[in-house]
Structure 1
Amino acid sequence: MFRLTLIVGFFCIASVALEDSSEDNDRIIGGRNIAITEAPYQISMQNKGIHFCGGSIISPKVVLTAAHCIAGVDGVSLSDLTCRAGSTMWSNGGQVRNIVAMISHPKYNPKTKEADIGVLILSPAFKFDTGVKPIKLADGVPTDGKAGIISGWGVTRDKGVIVSTMLKCAEVTSISRKNCSQPPWDYGDEILPSMICARGDGKDACQGDSGGPYVSKATNKLWGVVSWGRGCAREAYPGVYTAVVAFKKWITKHIEENK
C-alpha cells in the first residue's frame, strides 16, 4: 500500500481531520514532535494549501519525492500545487514555492512500485536558512541494524485519517533486502534491488508521509524516500523505501539542469 494521504485527480480532495494539540502527540507513528530545524530539508507537498505528501530539498529549486505522489495529482492543475518549507506546521509559516514541473522516474511502475521516485521543480528558488537546508544524497544503502530517521506530517495511526499539524520524526532500524523478503515478514519478491526496508517497535511512516525522507542518523545523508508498506507499524512489518543511491545519476542530472 502506498503512503499517499489524499485522493485527488478525478475525485475531490478527501477531508482530513487535524490532530488535536491537546492529545498525546507522540508519533509519526511511534515518534515525537520536532522543530523544522531538526529536519530542515523536509517539505510539505500541497494541493490548494492542503498537505498530501512529503519530500526532501536537494537543491534550491529541486525537491525529491515519491513518483506515486506525482501520479496522485494527475489531472490537478499545476497552479494549485505548492511546497512549504521552513515551518514545523504544514499549514502556515515558512517559505511557500510554486511547483512548475513534476517528473517521475521513467521506469516508475505503480504495480511493482519499482522506481517510486520523482523530482519537483520549484519557482522561485528556496532561500536557505536555519529552517530550510538541502540534504546530501547517500552513496549506498544501510546494512542490517543501522539507525535511521523518518519524518513527516502523516496520519498518526494505522488506518487513521488524522494528520499531524506538527512535524514528527521516529527512529527506525534498517533491515537487509534478503531478510525483509523472508520470515517473519515474508515480503518475498516484492522487495526489489532498488528498495530498502526499515522498522521500529511501533514506529513507521504512514499515509501522508509518502515521498518524505529516510535519513542516516550517523551521517545525516538521505538513504531513501518513503514509498509503501503493509499497513503502518502493523505487526512490526517494515516500511519500504526507494533507495536514493539506485537513482543518484538521474537525480543529479535534474539538479544540474535546474541551477
Structure 2
Amino acid sequence: MLIHSLLLLLAAQFLSAVVPTSENHIVGGERIEIDKAPWQASLRHEGVHICSGSIYSKTIIITAAHCLCFENGTKYRINNLSVSVGSTARSNGTVFQVQAKISYPNYTIDSSENDIAVLRLEKPLVLSDTVHPIALVNKHPAPGTIASATGWGVTGFNSDSSFIVPEFLQGINLEVLSLEYCENFYEDPVPENSICAMPGICDGDSGAPLVIDRELVGVVSASNSNCNGPSISTSVFYLKDWILQSIDALSQ
C-alpha cells in the first residue's frame, strides 16, 4: 500500500499503527552535515518538524503539497507554518515564518500526483556555507541514475514498533528505477510525472530533496507503511514551468 510519508508524529496512537517487517528493520543512510546539503530545510507546524523542503532562493522553499494539510485534507493555517534552516540538528536552526504558499492546482491528499508546493518566507534567508539555494534540474533522470536524499525522517523501528527518529540530518543514495517497478510493487498506477527510487525513504521524509549533481530533481512524496519499498517523488523537470510560475506569483 502506498502512503504519504509526512508522519513525524510521535503520539502513541500513530506509533501503534506501524508494523515493521522485522525487529531490527533499518531504513539506511548515515548522518550528514548541513554544509553537504545546505539547501535542506525543515518545515514545521506549530514549531514541530513535519517535513523537509529545499531552499530555492532567499525567500522561496519547495516542498510537498501534502505537507501543508492534515490527513483529512484540511489545510494548515499559514501562521502555524515555519521553516528552519542551517543546522544538522533537527531541533536547532534559524527559524523563518512562512508568509504565503501555493500548492499545485486541484492537488488532493489521497494522491501522489502533482504533490508539490512552493512557500514564500516572511523574511529573506541569510546565505552561507550552511544555507544555500539549489538549482532546478533540466532533465528527468533515467533509470539507473544514482540520486541522493536527505532528511530527518524515521530511520527504523524499535522492538515495540515505535519509531526511531534521528536528531541529526541523514543522507542516503538511491537508484532511480522505472515507473513500472513502482507500479508492480504497489499494484497501483504511478503518476507519469513521478520518480521511482530505492531504497530508504520513510515517515517524516516528505518534501525532502531528491538531488543529482547538486540539482533538485524530485520532491519526496510517498512510500509504503513499512518503509521497505521504493519511494515516489514528484519530478521537478515535469513541473518546472509550474514551479517557476508559482514563484513569480508569490514574488508579486
TM-score by length of 2: 0.85
**SS of equivalent to 1:224:** strand
Could you tell me which of 214, 225, 228 is aligned with 2:222? Answer: 228
Mapped contact 2:177–2:196 kept (Cα < 8 A)? yes
Mapped contact 1:6–1:208 kept (Cα < 8 A)? yes
Mapped contact 2:31–2:168 kept (Cα < 8 A)? yes
Shift of 1:113: 2.0
Could you tell me which of 148, 166, 169 is aligned with 1:167? Answer: 169
Mapped contact 2:39–2:56 kept (Cα < 8 A)? yes
In the alignment, what sits opposite 1:214? 210
Instruction: For 1:80-99, list aligned pairs within 5 A.
Output: 80-93=80-93, 95-99=94-98
Between Structure 1 and Structure 2, how many residues are aligned? Answer: 234
Code of the residue aligned with 2:109 in structure 1: it is P
Shift of 1:80: 2.5
Could you tell me which of 42, 47, 50 is aligned with 1:49? Answer: 47
Q: Give deviations 1:154-178, integer Å, cap 9, x for gaps.
A: 1112664332110001001000113
TM-score by length of 1: 0.82
- The 1:172/1:228 distance shift into structure 2, 3 A limit, reads same
Code of the residue aligned with 1:215 in structure 2: it is V
Runs ≥4 in structure 1, deviation > 6 angstroms?
none
- The 1:115/1:256 distance shift into structure 2, 3 A limit, reads same
In the alignment, what sits opposite 1:239? 231
Gaps of 5+ in 1: 8-12, 18-26
In the alignment, what sits opposite 2:179? 177
Mapped contact 1:88–1:166 kept (Cα < 8 A)? yes
- The 1:99/1:147 distance shift into structure 2, 3 A limit, reads same
Instruction: For 1:54-133, list aligned pairs within 5 A.
Output: 54-72=52-70, 74=74, 76-93=76-93, 95-133=94-132
Distance of 1:208 and 1:111 partners within structure 2: 17
Mapped contact 1:28–1:170 kept (Cα < 8 A)? no
Could you tell me which of 178, 201, 205 is aligned with 2:201? Answer: 205
**SS of equivalent to 1:179:** helix
- The 1:250/1:28 distance shift into structure 2, 3 A limit, reads farther
Q: Give deviations 1:73-107, integer Å, cap 9, x for gaps.
A: 846442232100011112113x2110011211003
